[in-house]
Every structure is written in structure tokens, then in C-alpha cells.
Amino acid sequence: MFLVAFLISTFFSLIATLVVRKVAVAFSILDTPKNDRKIHMKPTPLLGGLGIFVAFCLSIVTVSYISHRLNFDSMSVFDLLGVMMGGLVLVVGGVLDDIYDLPPTRQIIFPIIATLITIALGVSASSITNPFGGTLYFGGVIGALITFAWLMGMMYTTKYLDGIDGLVSGLVVVASSIMFFVSLDITLKQEYIAVLALVIAGIFCGFWFFNFNPASIFLGESGSLLAGYLIGVLAILSGTKIATALLVFGIPILDVVWVITRRLKSRASIFKGDKMHLHHRLLAVGFSSRQVALLMYAVCLLFGSTSLFLQTQYKLYVLMLLVLFMIALAFGLIFQYNKSHDKKIHHS
């Protein structure tokens, strides 16, 4: 059934993406390169998130119908309704942004509403595993606040990360695939979560086929937010496996934290785009778009796969190692960039 769930979701994603791409072209809903932050050379269709959401809903309904492994006894109807309603809000807001290019102060309204709806319908963290042993439990209000911060953080991580063809969609495939294997742990026996993880992997795999460099369609606002939202929700529904998600998305999250910190120090808007993200720096020192995406896949897969055989306490150590890796990588890129820049000045 696992393979069937993956194939069904991939199929729906391929078809939905093809349809949405034609709609975007027909109505001229395109991402046109207007500044030096845009690395693509020609107008590219948006609305990718709309296709992903349609494929997700069709996949959930179809797989639920033909299998008892993703059933409403194991997962509350309100959980699934919360995920779908939250996703719908993100898609509506994202489509409006793709068409009208909303200012950041209006863009953020939709993720906030989506998160609140999701929490209101029961998707909320109630405990986390203590790295030093046992479990930490907390009340409804604290759990809701943690869930709100977690989902908003994941959504804006994937939103800011969406600057290279296929990068976000590929990382979601990596993350959901790892969470699939984690859910198969004999001590957890979360088959319904395993199927849900494969559905998410399948829909993003189908989209990735069109989104990898050279991309023929982009995620758009709704797709970039939906990516982080679904992974964030999956981590909560699978028993608050936030550590697993952090191991996969650790580098992107640290990159976003670093960029936001730098913007705050320079008193610039945290929503104002620039070319200081890790993927931009990798491009600046000579990597191609494909090489950047593949490198990020490999690093996130390397760190994420450690969650398959490490206990929570050791995951904390790996997270600390990941922080050190990110710091070393940042200094290395800065050094290489300055070296290349000095050579250019010297030759000129």
C-alpha cells in the first residue's frame, strides 16, 4: 500500500501541475525577472502551490478510500480537516499574491489565519521528547503557542529558501521520505503517518519533475508556504518529531535565522529580499543552480538520515554539529567570495 500511495500522489501531482501551468500561462500569471535577485532568464508560470494542494486533497481522499491504513480512527477527522482548511487559506492567499504581488504586511495574514485554523481544529503539539530523558508535557495554551511558532517558522523557512529551481520541492521529498522511514519504527507503528508522509513525498516529487532546473513552473507564494506547512504539520501529527524535521531543514533554518539577524542589525525590513542567502552565496562562488540544489539535497539527507538510528539525546548533538557545520560553511563561502572578488578587482 505504501508504494500505491506514493504512485497515486505522484500521478495526481503530475496531472495537476500540467493543468495549473497551462492556466498560469493562459492568464499570464508569470514570474518575470525584473531585478538582479531573479536568476531565471525568462517569464515562468506561477501557481505551483495550487496544483500541489489539489493533488494533496485528491490523494488523501483516494488513498483513504482504497486503504484502511490512512483512516479516520487513527487520525482525527478534525486533524485532516485542519490540514486541508489551513492549506486552502494558504493557496487562496498565495494565488492572490501571485496575481497582485501583495505587500509583505498582507502576505503574512494568510499564514497566520491558516495556522490559527489548524490549531483550532486540533493539530497542536502537546508534548516533546526531553533530550535528556522522558517527555515534556505542556498545557493547551503553551502547546498552541509552540505550534504557532513552529508552523510559522517552517513556512517562512521554505518561503525564503525558494530561490533556486527545485530546491524546496526536492527538500520536501527528502524530509517526508525520512519521516516515512521514522514512522515505520517498530516501537511507533504509525502506518497512517507513514502513508501521509508518502503522499506528501509523492505530490512534491511530481511537481519537482517540472520544477528542477530549468524549471517550467514555480511554487509561487502558496507553494513555498505550503511546503513548510505540510512538513511542519507532519512533524506534529507524527508525535512532535520536530527534531527530525530540524535535522533535515537545519541548514535552511539556520540560514534564515542568520539572514534575518543581519537584516535586523542593519535596520532593514526582514521581508526585504536580498542575495545573502546561502544558495545565493553558493551561486556567487561558482556553483550552478543544479549543483546548489543537489548539494543541499545531499547535506540535508546526510543530517536527516541520522534520525533513523539515533535517540533524541544524540539528535541534539547532531544538531549542535550542524550549527558548527553551518558556521564553517558560512566563513568558507565568505572567504572564497572575497578571494574571487579581489581577483576580479586585480585583473580589472
Q: Contact, 296 vs 250, CB < 8 A?
A: no
Q: Which residues of 120-143 are buried (b: 16+ CB within 10 A; e: fewer)?
A: ebebbbbebbebeeeeeeeeeeeb
Write down the pLDDT at residue 240: 55
**311 against 84, higher pLDDT:** 84
* Rounded CA separation 125/117 (Å): 14
CB atoms within 10 A of CB 170: 23
Residue 42 CA from chain centroid, whole number: 25
Among 107-121, 152-166, 274-288, 322-336, the minimum mean pLDDT is found in: 322-336
* Rounded CA separation 253/121 (Å): 27
Closest CA to 281 of 337, 324, 323: 337
CA distances to 110, 168, 204, 324 from 199, rounded to whole Å, are 24, 16, 9, 33
- Read off the pLDDT of residues 189-225 as tens digits, 9 standing for 90 and up: 677 888 899 999 999 999 999 999 999 999 999 999 9
Q: Contact, 224 vs 159, CB < 8 A?
A: yes
Q: Which residues of 289-302 are buried (b: 16+ CB within 10 A; e: fewer)?
A: beebbbebbebbbe
44 bridge partner residues: 31
Percent of the chain with pLDDT over 70: 79
* Rounded CA separation 111/326 (Å): 28
Closest CA to 322 of 233, 253, 238, 242: 253
Domain segments of the chain as ranges: 2-347
Q: Which helix (H) or strand (E) holds 111?
A: helix 109-120
- Confidence class of residue 315 from pLDDT cuts 50, 70 and 90? low
Contacts of 231 (CB under 8 A, 6+ apart): 154, 158, 172, 175, 176, 179, 200, 245, 249
- Read off the pLDDT of residues 228-258 as tens digits, 9 standing for 90 and up: 999 999 998 876 567 778 888 888 888 888 8
- Read off the pLDDT of residues 108-145 as tens digits, 9 standing for 90 and up: 999 999 999 999 988 887 766 655 555 666 767 888 99
What is the maximum alpha-carbon separation in the chain? 69
Average pLDDT for the chain = 83
* Rounded CA separation 85/82 (Å): 5
User: Is 147's pLDDT higher than 50?
Assistant: yes
